[in-house]
Structure 1
Amino acid sequence: MVPTLWLPISSTFLGLNIANLLSLVGLDCIFNLGATLFLLMANSTTQPKDPTQSPRSKAVFSYQFWNMFASLIGYPIPLALFLGSQKGFLQPQLTPISCFVLLGPYLLLLSVQILTELLTWHWQSPVWLVTPVVYKAYRVLQLMRGLKLSAEISVPAWIMHTIRGLVCWWILILGLQLMRVAWFAGFSAKTRQEQKSYL
């Protein structure tokens, strides 16, 4: 599922232009296709043999709220810093193409993740539990790629600090997410065991 993040950046990125921005977005699209295929396969394995049964799995509200809160926090910080740079509040200023190269793929994939999570909740698919883990793990790698690019294109120090802060934020969120997955999986297994013993 993880595409060519470990390719040398020089093999896919040759400068600040639209073609190279599209090449970075293309790499993330490869990941998105792989992630979608993985989630569809995971969903198909949860289908019961009896077609009359439906494996509905509704996400609890606290889980939905936490995931949406964590994801939406990822938007305003880079957007506010970019606007501050364009208005002259942050010096030296960051050019729009630099911002799009460094944060455009990140914001695009974050939007795709939110849409995917909303769909899995709406369809009550059992894969709602692992969907955030798949995307957040990749997001950390995506931001690490942004740090490498920052060093190559000589951006202002404040944008590198911003990307480092986002890396720390998503590592924290990913760790909490993994603990929640473990808790939900253990809770579900315990509930099934209690139901079997009751029967």
Structure 2
Amino acid sequence: MAPTLWLPLSSVYVGSKVVSVLSLIGLDCIFNLGATLFLLMADSCARPKDPSQPCKSQPPFSYKFWNVFALVTGFLVPTLLLLGAQTGLLGSLQPELPFLSVAVLLFPYFILLAVQTLTEILTWSWQSPVWLVTPVVYEAYRVLQLMRGLKLSAEVNAPGWVVHMIRGLVSWWVLILGMQLMRVAWFAGFASRTTTTQQP
């Protein structure tokens, strides 16, 4: 995360807004590569050492439901607000935000959301043991990514309602991240108790 979040924004936000969008997406790609490598290594370490022993690690339905609910909410709310402002359906959300400014602030957010959704679906489908930590990896970065968006909102002269929307998204994902960390602790404790019980 270090090169993607703690570079001075002035070194990223140079030239046209198109270049800025591509720079931010490129930085987030560095994180995505690192997260993928981490999850692959974690999956390799967590699988049984005996190749003949099957690895069946399936999350419960309630876990899948709440993860999908968090992802869909995090996608729909900003999308509906932006569409409502652009079409004039939400007259109170003025002035409108130009498309390139929206891209600078939220395109990296939407791309990371799509990558997390795909990764979680794959871990569930492959019954990978890393299904528990996958959302934590992406959501921790998402909070920092949105905080970066708050700093960039001054650069693109974003209206107040956009800043409040990003702050709301930060609050939402901090809440979801806290719940995910509690679930990691609960599932890890449950697995530990199950292993202890099964020992002779």
**Normalised by the shorter chain, which TM-score bucket?**
over 0.9
Query: Which residue of the partner structure matches residue 4 of structure 1?
Result: 4
Instruction: Give the equivalent residue in structure 1 for 2:29.
Output: 29
Unaligned ranges ≥5, structure 1? none
Name the structure 1 match of 2:61.
61
Q: CA RMSD in A?
A: 1.1
Deviation at residue 153 of structure 1 after TM alignment? 1.9
Alignment of 1:108-147 (within 5 A): 108-147=111-150
2:97 maps to which residue?
94
Please state if 1:179 is matched with 2:177. no
Query: How far apart, in 2, do the equivalents of 1:141 and 1:178 lie?
Result: 16
Of stretches 148-157 and 176-185 in structure 1, the one that deviates more from structure 2 is 148-157
Contact residue 46 and residue 126 of structure 1 kept, 8 A = yes
AA paired with 2:125? H
Pairs aligned (count): 197
What is the CA–CA distance in structure 1 between the aligned matches of 2:60 and 2:81, rounded to whole Å? 34
Q: Does 1:163 align with 2:166?
A: yes
2:19 paired with 1:19:
yes
SS in 2 for 1:119: helix
Cα contact 2:47–2:129 (8 A) shared by 1: no
In 1, distance between residues paired with 2:47 and 2:123? 15
Q: Distance in 2 between matches of 1:3 and 1:42?
A: 22
**Relative to structure 2, which stretch is displaced further, 76-85 or 169-178?**
76-85
Conserved? CA contact 1:16–1:101, under 8 Å: no
Deviation at 1:2, TM superposition (A): 4.8
Structure 2 CA distance for aligned equivalents of residues 110 and 173 of structure 1: 14
Please tell me whether the aligned partners of residues 85 and 91 of structure 1 are also in contact (alpha carbons under 8 angstroms): yes
- Could you list the runs of 5+ residues in structure 2 that have no partner in the other structure? none
- C-alpha displacement of 1:152: 1.9
**Does the CA-based 8 Å contact 2:4-2:28 persist in structure 1?**
no
TM-score w.r.t. length of structure 2: 0.95
Deviation of 1:80 (Å):
1.2
- 1:41-100 superposed Cα distances (whole Å, 9 cap, x missing partner): 000102322211122211111101111101110011111121122113321110011111
Instruction: Give, as a single letter, the amino acid of the residue that structure 2 aligns with 1:101.
Output: V
Q: Residue 81 of structure 1 corresponds to which residue in structure 2?
A: 81
Pair 15,77 (structure 1): closer, same or farther in 2 beyond 3 Å: farther
Structure 1 outlier segments of 4+, above 2 Å: 1-4
The TM-score, its normalising length taken from structure 1, stands at: 0.95
Identity %: 65
Once the two structures are overlaid, the 10-residue window that deviates more, 12-21 or 26-35, is 12-21
- Once residues 8 and 59 of structure 1 are traced to their aligned partners in structure 2, the CA distance between those partners, rounded to angstroms, is 39
2:4 aligns to what SS in structure 1? coil
Compared CA separation, residues 2 and 111, structure 1 to 2 (3 A): farther
